[in-house]
Chain A
Amino acid sequence: MKREHHHLYPQTDPSTSASAAAGKSKMWDEDGCGGGGDDELLAVLGYKVRSSDMAEVAQKLEQLEEVMFSAQEDGLSHLASETVHYNPSDLSSWLESMLSEFNPLPPPPGGFGGGPLSVPVAAAPPRPQPVGDPFLPRAESSSITTVDFGADQRMQSSCGRSSQMNEPRPEIGSSGIVFDEESSSDYDLKAIPGKAVFGRAQAQAQAQTRTRLASTSSSSTSSSAVTAKRFKSSPSDAAVGAAPESSRPVVLVDSQENGVRLVHALMACADAVQQDNLSIAEALVKQIGFLAISQAGAMRKVATFFAEALARRIYRVYPQNPPLDHSLTDALQMHFYETCPYLKFAHFTANQAILEAFEGKSRVHVIDFSMNQGLQWPALMQALALRPGGPPTFRLTGIGPPAPDNSDRLQEVGWKLAQLAETIHVEFEYRGFVANSLADLDASILELRPSDAEAVAVNSVFELHKLLARPGAIEKVLGVVRQVRPAIVTVVEQEANHNGPVFVDRFNESLHYYSTLFDSLEGCASTQDKAMSEVYLGKQICNVVACEGADRVERHETLAQWRVRLGGAGFVPAHLGSNAFKQASMLLALFAGGDGYRVEENGGCLTLGWHTRPLIATSAWRLGGPSAGAAH
């Protein structure tokens, strides 16, 4: 009986199977798999607990139960509503952070002048919010501010239960949000400043919690590697950070007859292309065209883009790269930004991490690898402006590609941001750097100042994967980032592996990824925005499928893969917490037409997906100690 159940155990690699079997036979053995490894049975369920720590974790659970019992309702509601939770997979740290809420640490030496910490007492316990009403923030939550970014620099702010938050804005109808140019920015997911801009005492409590968590985060890194290993079907290659996952998240939204034939034809065509059977491929591409027309909705559009990309590959009519028309790219991205929440989520969650890292710093500097039109920064600047004690000096370095007409787009963007800064009274400095590739940058160019004088954040939204097209580029850039000595590095990437060595695999992966992504767009009201967004994504599809070598820049890799790369380059995770999660979720709820959007927590990172399929992932990193990032 036991032998036939061996496959129920997670087999990470052969050397653990023996201990797993041994663990199984010792039914009541507490030390299920021996020694310093993670308990495998709990690991499969998403909890990382070292077997050797099990008893201690049990003890913490008991302590917490006792403490909560004696603290009664107040303590409980405080833990639920006030405490920011991080990385619930790491049970030991999670429990510890809650225990510390009841046994707070003494104030740090030298103090911040915020006065001694007291036992967090919910003096006026926050009235519980009715579930499912994102328009009513809790009393202690922060304000949402809206800024018109553009001609009208008027600033409105709404706090707590102001009318602006309570009443649904007239534009939000059941069919979706209608964006008109003037007020479109009102619907941007501006930063909810969150805990980071709150009273020092509270913020300190969290800084304490987080500091302690950070020191145990190295265990998270290694267990992330464990997660990656679990799905590997082949030994990892020696190349740094390139371990591919063999995990294929799939959400089937369209199982109609024609849809299936379409997918069939697409995959057969990709196969033919890979085999270099170009005449078959050609015939199939034409067939796909006919089949696509008979399809409805997302599948038709996706199929059309993939068919076009295949055709380009077959006929060797490759798309221009880099694209010549930046203003078109800008416009497309702007529409994508407006249509669906992906970019907004990316900006919002990255900003949360940046805000927390900039806590208490009087001079801050953001280096943005993905400057584009600077859509991320008004919200951050707003949040900084609202800090009690006033905003820090804010320096922004924007990096972008050269414009063919020699226009200085970067400078224009900077100028607009400067105007905004003036309105909200934030001291602002801006530099734009034009670079063909991030790999062309050196730390010396960035005009860094001593790190005790200035806290630096490096931000990259959908840019790092492009570096994988040239050997050595990612390593160089990460090296430069290290030299910058950032307080925080924020990375947002597509949650997919579109960089595998086999063309057909890449094709299949991206087919399902973009099918899901396009499906999420279907609920959007505005057909104009939607169409442009589809074109924006279509260009990515074209690149993944039709291009190769240095031209193929859409080399998306998964969070697990990025963890290995960044870990190998000497960075350790900085966890995003339940506050960022909650605010992101609440803002998503405002996005009508998007019932299926889901935020998920993944080992300290946040992902946004459509139903059960994560599509983009935000992670935050800081420099590890001297021992971190040893040669991979």
Chain B
Amino acid sequence: MAGSNGVGLSESKMVVPLNMWVLISNFKLKYNLLRRPDGTFDRHLAEFLDRKVPANANPVDGIFSFDVIIDRTMNLLCRIYRPAFTEEPQPSLIDLEKPVDAEFVPVIVFFHGGSFAHSSANSAIYDTLCRRLVGICKAIVVSVNYRRAPENRYPCAYDDGWLALKWVSSRSWLQSKIDSKVHIFLAGDSSGGNIVHSVALRAAEAEIEVSGNILLNPMFGGEERTESEKKLDGKYFVGIRERDWYWRAFLPEGENRDHPACNPFGPRGKSLEGIKFPKSLVVVAGLDLIQDWQLAYAKGLEKAGQEVKLLFLEQATIGFYLLPNNNHFYTVMNEISSFVNPNGK
């Protein structure tokens, strides 16, 4: 059975549970329908097909959520996830922004993936992921509904991320009791991971403290074709041509993939030496065709003297963290939990 480049489709089927294969393949199919060869995007069909869930101020499995318009002029919305309060089974609506009651609560500012073009903060896959993060890490999660490409190119997503970071850092109700500070971690998968890097950089320059970066299968690239891209092209749900499409859709017109947004440690990259950059947790899936770029990113941080932990999951494909029915999911979640709770909570 021939796949998109003559390789058997059954390869990817052998490394993930069937329902995960169905989920990711479904997304692949969906995404194929939405990208047009001329670089435009069928936004209406995308919104129609995306499975969304509303926020829910009633706790489900001990977690409730609510949406906040954090900036009216930009129409920027965030979905906030919190553990339910122990005293009351259902938070009163005025208690949604009730001050945090614990000595230490990590606040994870989360940027969903979708290669800058797909998904939203209220997409079901990301709503679910964020809930899981809250439950496992005992954190508050703020999921940012950033503007997407190709309608909004670089640097819109970064600007929205920056706005969100500033908003979160100025919320007194998010302060940990131990030191009356908001302990912020930036996290994101795919394009979200890419946004994490840029927002952290901006934060460092503006001296807003970010306690750590979590990059899950972050989206990076470059002009060069790396070994992993050549070797894994089309084999595990992802191909080079679509990666190229998304970069063309996000980067400014006329730019190539060595633009620093795409290739932060490339020829046009900026040195991070001496910058007070947060510690980073970089998760790389061994069957992700852009892993060479992700590994290069981790290396780049290391060479610049920054603290970085690399978690390489050999047999993992993209999207492994969307379903909790594989070992990789638990490995990563536990790592993230330790990462944001450094005092061994």
Q: Which residues of A pack against B, CB within 8 Å?
A: 1, 5, 7-11, 23-24, 27-30, 32, 39, 41-42, 44-47, 49, 54-55, 57-58, 61-62, 64-66, 68-69, 73, 76-77, 79-81, 85, 88-89, 91, 128-132, 231, 233, 246-253, 255, 260, 263-264, 267, 508, 511-512, 578, 581-582, 585-586, 595-596, 598-601, 611-614
Contact = CB atoms under 8 A, between A and B. Distances in A.
Nearest to B89: A233
A27 B54 CA distance: 30
Interface in B50-77: 51-58, 60-62, 66-69, 72, 75, 77
B97 interface: yes
A259 B49 CA distance: 36
A612 B326 CA distance: 31
Interface string B210-248: 000000000000000000000000000000000000000
Given A251-B68, A596-B75, 5 more contacts: A41-B325, A47-B26, A57-B22, A231-B58, A612-B121
B32 A58 contact: no
Given A68-B32, A246-B58, A250-B93, A62 B1 contact: yes
Nearest to B126: A45
B150 A45 contact: no
Please list the 7 inter-chain residue pairs (A to B) with the smallest Cβ-Cβ separation, ordered nearest first.
A46-B51, A249-B54, A30-B18, A248-B57, A46-B124, A582-B44, A80-B33
A85 B29 CA distance: 13
Contacts of A578: 44-45, 48-49
A585 to B, nearest CB: 5
Contact of B40 (A128, A246, A581): A128
B44 A581 contact: yes
A320 B69 CA distance: 37
Contacts of B99: none
B19 A8 contact: no
B194 interface: no
B19 A65 contact: no
Nearest to A578: B48
A599 B323 contact: no
A45 B51 contact: yes
B26 A69 contact: no
Contact of B19 (A54, A255, A598): A54
14 contacts: A24-B325, A42-B19, A45-B322, A46-B124, A47-B26, A49-B19, A58-B13, A128-B37, A128-B38, A132-B151, A250-B96, A251-B68, A596-B75, A600-B47
Contact of A508 (B26, B32, B93, B324): B93
B268 interface: no
Contacts of B151: 131-132
B303 interface: no
A39 B1 CA distance: 27
A69 to B, nearest CB: 6
Given A54-B18, A65-B4, A131-B43, A248 B48 contact: no
Most buried by A among B18, B32, B334: B18
B40 A130 contact: yes
B38 A252 contact: no
Contact of B48 (A1, A508, A581): A581
B22 A54 contact: yes
B interface bracket (residues with beta carbon within 8 Å of A): 35 or more
Given A8-B135, A29-B17, A252 B60 contact: no
Nearest to A267: B94
Contact of A30 (B19, B93, B323): B19
Contacts of B2: 66, 69
Contacts of B150: 131
A368 B125 CA distance: 40
B21 A80 contact: no
B45 A599 contact: no
A296 B33 CA distance: 45
Contacts of B26: 47, 61, 91
Contacts of B77: 251, 611-612
A484 B13 CA distance: 51
Contacts of A73: 37
Given A7-B62, A260-B94, A69 B51 contact: no
Contacts of A233: 58
A42 B17 contact: no
Nearest to B13: A58
Interface in B309-345: 322-327, 330, 334
Contacts of B48: 85, 88, 578, 581-582, 601
A571 B54 CA distance: 26
A611 B70 CA distance: 12
A611 B51 contact: no
Given A11-B61, A250-B66, A255-B97, A61 B22 contact: yes
A561 to B, nearest CB: 15
B9 interface: yes
Nearest to B65: A250
Contact of B94 (A45, A54, A264): A264
B34 interface: yes
B132 interface: yes
B51 A248 contact: no
A305 to B, nearest CB: 17
Nearest to A41: B323
A613 B21 contact: no
